[in-house]
Amino acid sequence: MSEALLYGLLAAALLALLTGLLRALAVPAATAPAPIERLLPRHPQYFPALRPSLQTADGEFLRGRLPREEFLRWRAERRRILRGFLAGLNQDCRHLTQLARTVARLSPRVSRRSELQLLQLQVSFRLLYGLAWLRVSLNVAALRNVSELTYRVGRLAAQVEAAMLALESSSRLRPDPRLNG
């Protein structure tokens, strides 16, 4: 009986993860153009300040020094802040993906390889995001997961910036057809 329940819970969790992944990868049909400043990542810069709250030593230290109610309140607040940070990283990833798609549409040569890399990065980000969110929710050490998510958002930002620079330099090399009379 307990084995069937465990498999049922595992199947439900995988189904929920797959549903969330598919929703995250879906592109809304009517998206209004956003100012580029809104599409740039903002949350990775806060990771160094949040790193101490991801370490388990603080919780171990406070567990013995605070009354139980205060400790539980501290832990709940810590979880809330970390979930907010994860949501911000998720938002940054979505915005960067939107920007990458826009740059790809403007690019004269969009390779299938770069499209596959973007898709692979999105899928791996979504899976790691789900794992990090779960670990934060369960109060399990999540430093490695959140650090990796932050790194991936930074890497995606660097790739988008490189694509924008390549697009800019290729547009400078092409003559403007309006000037040729």
Those residues whose C-beta lies under 8 Å from the C-beta of residue 4, and which sit 6 or more positions away, are: none
* Three-state SS sequence of the chain: CHHHHHHHHHHHHHHHHHHHHHHHHCCCCCCCCCCHHHHCCCCHHHHHHHHHHHCHHHHHHHHHHCCHHHHHHHHHHHHHHHHHHHHHHHHHHHHHHHHHHHHHHHCCCCCHHHHHHHHHHHHHHHHHHHHHHHHHHCCCCCHHHHHHHHHHHHHHHHHHHHHHHHHHHHHHHCCCHHHHC
Specify the pLDDT at position 163. 78
Cβ 145 vs Cβ 131: under 8 Å? yes
Specify the pLDDT at position 69. 92
List average pLDDT for each run of 10 residues in the chain, which is 181 residues long.
72 68 54 56 68 74 86 88 88 86 75 75 88 86 84 84 76 56 47
Specify the pLDDT at position 40. 61
Specify the pLDDT at position 38. 59
Specify the pLDDT at position 101. 81
